[in-house]
Amino acid sequence: MALIAAEKTVSQTMSLYVPLSKGTRFCLKQDTNAYAVLPPSHWKGYREPEEPPAPERGTWGDHPPRPSALEQAVAASKDGDCHRAVIGILDSDPSDGLAGALARLGRAIQGAKTA
């Protein structure tokens, strides 16, 4: 205990009392001990560790968002995919109204060319 107290990591408090006895001797008796762990700022020679680096992107589920159907269709068109593949990509996201309208327009143009 003395070694830990010398390192300044634990504080010790003793509770003493004077028993009333019939004799004339003065004697202190120990009632209890109380120990408390001091905060790291009081520890002798302790330094806070450096902040760890942030995890790489995607490690904890923060994957970058997927490109929209319109962006995917533009990339497919630049890669030389056929018009049907581009129209299929535009139809893949029903919540994107613009992509759906462009898919319908593409089908109408493609149907006019075949007729």
pLDDT digits (tens, 9 = 90+) for 70-104: 999 999 989 888 888 999 999 988 898 999 999 99
Residue given tokens 């790489």 in the structure block = 56
* pLDDT in the model for residue 4: 55
Do 73 and 89 meet the contact criterion of CB atoms below 8 Å apart?
yes
Rounded CA gap, 44 and 2, in Å?
Answer: 14
Q: What pTM was estimated for this model as a whole?
A: 0.44
* pLDDT in the model for residue 50: 92
Residue given tokens 């904890």 in the structure block = 60
Residue given tokens 């634990």 in the structure block = 10
Task: For the chain, give every domain's residue range.
Answer: 2-42, 69-114
